[in-house]
Structure 1
Amino acid sequence: MKQYLPLLFLFCATLLNAQTRQEDKQLEILYRMLHESEVFSEIFTGFSLYDPEQERFLMEKDAGKYFTPASNTKILTLYTALKVLGDSIPAFRYATTGDSMIIWGTADPMFLHPDLPADATGFSLLQDTSCQLFFSAHNYKDERFGPGWAWDDYSYGFQPEKSSFPLYGNQVYFYRTETGEGIQAYPGYFERQLAYNPNIGGNWPSILRAESGNTFEFNDPALSGFPFEQFRPFNVTPQLITQLLTDTLNKPVGELDLTHLPPMPVKTHHRVLPDTLYRKLMQDSDNFIAEQLLLACSEKLFGSQSTADAIRYAQDSLYRALPDRLLWRDGSGLSRYNLFTPRTMVGVLDLIRQEKPAEWRHSVFATGGVSGTIEDLYAGAKGKPYLFAKTGTLSNKHCLSGYLITNTGRELIFSFMNNNYVQGTAPVKKEMQQVLEYIRDQF
């Protein structure tokens, strides 16, 4: 047997050298695809490809430079929530004194949200109590919008306001199902806040709200045209929260400041954090959920709600080992002040990989050709998905970061970050798809 060992070693060395040469050739082609692309050469593009099993970067292009990540920011929010909140979230806190119950929010985004599991236990606790209810907003230390948000997007469904005790997703759902029927609202409270304005033009149904206040106005097509549905954020104030709770619980709810009362025993109502919430965060790219999750992390850590405090904690503890400093300002990526590098995005994705199994990650992230914001892109051959990722899009900016399964079964982590294009996203997405399909087929 010993006489054959040198031959065996020679065969293995030859095979290894052949594999190395093959990968070198593949990487050379990938390098040219990234660096000689007419599309990428006219814009700012960063790319990073990482093999977590080998713990090495396979390819990088400007991976250490900073880009506006847009909704790729939600990847950081996801990992922060997983580490801080765990399997449950404080839904609200309450204290009882005499015949009064004071409640205050913990930023839980799910309470009465039409698309998320109901909290029957929490609702019954508030509705069935014989105590007089009061709401306190004393623990909210943030603004309604994040830094760097576009103020004139206040009326669009993708930018609800942040708040301490979110209700109904902090939005109104207006709809009319039949021609000739009146406009309905969910929650029904806002039907009383709806008025006709003949000065609102347009050929399509439109419902508008002033920047401050909660009077909504509609145009002619909204009442007499085709059936429609629209989501409109409401302006959150402590007074509105008490009014909505009063209307929803069918019992009076007052307002007070808990800090004006003597200390008293505090109880917390918790609820399970369902994967439904994380799927809506990552697949639908829900900005409201992202912001509230960071506020909920702050509440759990510090007893008050501040996005900046939650980010500071995550930077100092969870992300301390990342290769590049984070310029991080909000949970959703609506802020144009956020700046991350592609290799930082890969680093966070690898942290999630270490925390959660592939089955969970592939069910929560959007799936190419199947679900979420990449339902119509990156479809796998013969219906077999290969891409599980998070998009991020603002004007002139498009990013994609996630997990890629090659035809040989390798799971690679990648981050594509594109900024400052002027021809729209279509050429960028097409070029990205060619690169990602090459990696799938050749690696």
Structure 2
Amino acid sequence: MHCISIFNLKTVMYKIVSLLILSTIALSCKSAKISKTITKTVSSNFYDNQFTGIMIIDPETADTVYQYQAEKYFIPASNTKIATLFSALTLLKDSVPAFYYQKKADTLVIQGIGNPTFLHPYFKDSTALRWAKNYKHVKIIESSFADDKFGPGWAWEDYDTYYSPERTAFPMYGNVASISNSSQLEVSPKYFKDSVFQKTKKISRAYNTNIFYYDTTKTRAVEIPIVFDSLTSQNLWKHILPGKISFSKSRFTEEPNIAYSIPSDSLYKRMMYESDNFLAEQMLIMASSNITDTLNTALVRNYMLDNYLTDLKQKPRWVDGSGLSRYNLFSPLSFVQILSKLYATIPRERLLNFFPVGGGSGTLKSWYGGNPEPYIYAKSGTVGNNYCLSGFLLTKSGKILIFSFMNNHYKTPTAENKTRMQQIFEYVRDTY
């Protein structure tokens, strides 16, 4: 019986090894077929006058399914938010840090920590306001905020556009004025009700003043960035809590506590689904509080590159959290490496939930539909003449692949690039 058991075991092991070998050969053949087909596609005349890079890997086998100029640098646009997501998941807790605080008898002392959800039009977090209502006096310490209100390389003419709010240490209302005109003119925050005028020019706000312009013949809701200096902050706080608020440049007398607000995952998902630049920037500000007393996004980016992303084959030029800046430079390989780190540490269901779904949600709602099952979970990045997409691809064989597909400096319509990308994704889905 003993000899028979050993014999049977050897037979089983032989079959397992044989199956593994056959499986490896099959995957190798599939990769070769995919490589030949995609290379033929990107060698067409369409790609002659643009820069394109592609990286696709199988994270289970660590095999490269396809690569094309994957180690070259590209302008990533909002694909940068993948690095921001990785940083937030690494440095922040399960709940969003709302503010620093100390309690002193009838006085609450608070200081901003970069939390973007406070009175935000979507999140409507009122943690700081609820706390403040319970005290006779509220002293707000002006934070040591080292960043400029706009990131390096941001387009100056976007100052009045919804996607370019200013960065601040203690945001309020998403740092935007929300204006609509369904039955009557509605303005939030109400403090700016008398600062909204009939729109006669293209701009939506005076250049460096909180004078807003809205077309009252329309009903469409708009969001216009606020000029958020210290005086604006004081006026907004005093408007919602008259007689209670004072401001100070002094420091806490002892180590402050941190109050928390909403679950962090809801913030991450919103940032990724809507490609929200403001949320992305503020997430890095909050993350910086874990490594320094001064809120500084450059410090947190360098900290991540020096400690958690040291193995990236091409060190990125990473200058902001949102990807608004054309100074950012990442390679497709770098994004695949960052996504691989996320895939290795975050449960699959939770991880995919952060990413827009092809044909289903967020910025991918109109593209990469699965018909019927979704197969693309990814972050897009779009800035004039550049379009990138990085994330996860589910094959019909049940595999999950990690990819980054980056296109720069084209003059053809972005939709044409997306159409060709979709054809490649569908081929990989059906073949691998």
TM-score normalised by L of structure 2: 0.92
Q: Does 1:126 align with 2:122?
A: no
Q: Please, which moves more after superposition, 62-71 or 26-35?
A: 26-35
Describe the shift of the 1:16–1:371 C-alpha distance in structure 2 as closer, same or farther (beyond 3 A): closer
CA–CA separation in structure 2 for the residues paired with 1:10 and 1:189: 72
Indicate whether 1:357 and 2:347 are aligned.
yes
Counterparts of 2:149 and 2:206 in 1: how far apart (Å)?
A: 15
Q: Which residue is 2:230 aligned to? A: 238
1:14 & 1:289 partners in 2: Cα distance? 47
The secondary structure found in structure 1 opposite 2:291 is helix
Residue-by-residue CA offset, 1:92-134 (whole Å, 9 max, x unaligned): 11235575443210001111112115244x3221112122x23
Amino acid paired to 2:208: S
Are 1:177 and 2:182 matched, yes or no? yes
Amino acid at match of 1:157: Y
| Cα 1:18–1:196 shift into 2, 3 Å | closer
Which amino acid letter does the alignment assign opposite residue 406 of structure 1? T
1:146 aligns with 2:151: yes
Deviates more, 1:17-26 or 1:88-97: 17-26
Structure 2 residue identity aligned to 1:370: G
- Residue 273 (structure 2) pairs with residue 283 (structure 1): yes
Corresponding residue for residue 419 of structure 1: 408
For residue 264 of structure 1, report the CA deviation from its aligned partner. Answer: 3.9
Deviation at 1:281, TM superposition (A): 0.7
Contiguous gaps of at least 5 residues in structure 2: none
Q: Find the aligned partners of 1:343 and 1:409 in 2 and give their Cα distance.
A: 23
SS at match of 2:417: helix
The 8 Å contact of residues 94 and 265 in structure 2, kept in 1 or not, is answered as no
Deviates more, 1:81-90 or 1:416-425: 81-90
Tell me the percent identity.
33
Would the aligned equivalents of 1:97 and 1:264 in 2 still touch at CA under 8 Å?
A: no
Deviation of 1:12 after TM superposition, in Å, equals: 5.0
Is it true that 1:393 corresponds to 2:382 in the alignment?
yes
The offset of 1:142, in angstroms, is 1.0
Distance (whole Å) between structure 2 residues aligned to residue 14 and residue 354 of structure 1: 25
* 1:137-166 deviation digits (Å, cap 9, x = unpaired): 232111100000011100000000000000
User: In the alignment, is residue 22 of structure 1 matched against residue 24 of structure 2?
Assistant: no
CA 1:11/1:350 → structure 2, altered by over 3 Å: closer, same or farther? closer
Q: 1:251 to 1:24 in 2, by over 3 A?
A: same
Post-superposition shift, 1:24? 4.8
Aligned counterpart, 1:210: 206
Matching of residue 271 in structure 1 with residue 261 in structure 2: yes
Shift of 1:370: 0.4
Q: Counterpart amino acid of 1:284?
A: E
1:312-365 deviations in Å (ceiling 9; x for gaps) = 111111111111111000000001100000000000111111221121122210
AA paired with 1:59? Y
- State the Cα deviation string for residues 214-243 of structure 1 (Å, max 9, x = none): 12234xxx23x2322111000011111121
Distance in 1 (alpha carbons) for counterparts of 2:180 and 2:383: 28
What SS does the corresponding residue of 1:169 show, helix, strand or coil? helix
Q: What aligned pairs does 1:233-382 form with structure 2 within 5 A after superposition?
A: 233-259=225-251, 263-264=253-254, 266-381=256-371
- 2 CA distance for matches of 1:410 and 1:306? 40
Q: 2:89 aligns with which of 79, 82, 87?
A: 82
Q: Secondary structure at the match of 1:366?
A: coil
Q: Which amino acid aligns with 2:248?
A: L
Q: Quick one: distance in 2 between partners of 1:409 and 1:125? A: 49
- Paired letter, 2:189: P
Aligned to 1:187: 189
1:89 is displaced (CA, Å) by 2.9
1:73-112 map, 5 Å: 73-96=80-103, 100-112=107-119
Separation of aligned partners in 2, 1:298 and 1:96: 24
* Count of aligned pairs: 425
Paired with 1:300 and 1:112, the residues of 2 have a C-alpha distance of: 24
Residues 177 and 236 from structure 1, CA distance in 2 versus in 1: closer, same or farther, beyond 3 angstroms?
Answer: same
Secondary structure of 2:430's counterpart equals helix
Counterpart code for 1:217 = Y
**Aligned CA distance change for structure 1 residues 350 and 117 (closer, same or farther; 3 Å):** farther
- 1:210 and 1:8, CA in 2 relative to 1: closer, same or farther beyond 3 A? closer
- Alpha-carbon contact 2:176-2:225 (below 8 Å) kept: yes
Say what the alpha-carbon RMSD is for the aligned residues: 2.5
CA spacing shift, 1:126–1:41, aligned 2, 3 Å: same
Q: Does the aligned pair in 2 maintain the 1:398–1:417 contact within 8 Å?
A: yes
| SS, match of residue 46 in structure 1 | strand
AA aligned to 2:303 is: Y
For residues 53 and 14 of structure 1, what CA distance do their matches in structure 2 show?
Answer: 16
Residue identity opposite 2:141 in structure 1: S
Give the counterpart letter for 1:129 in structure 2.
Y
Is 1:408 the equivalent of 2:397? Answer: yes
The answer to whether the 8 A contact 2:125-2:261 is kept is no
| 1:164 and 2:169 correspond | yes
The answer on whether the counterparts of 1:50 and 1:57 sit within 8 Å (CA) in structure 2 is yes
Return the letter of the residue paired with 2:226.
F
Mind listing any 5+ residue stretches in structure 1 that lack a counterpart? Answer: none
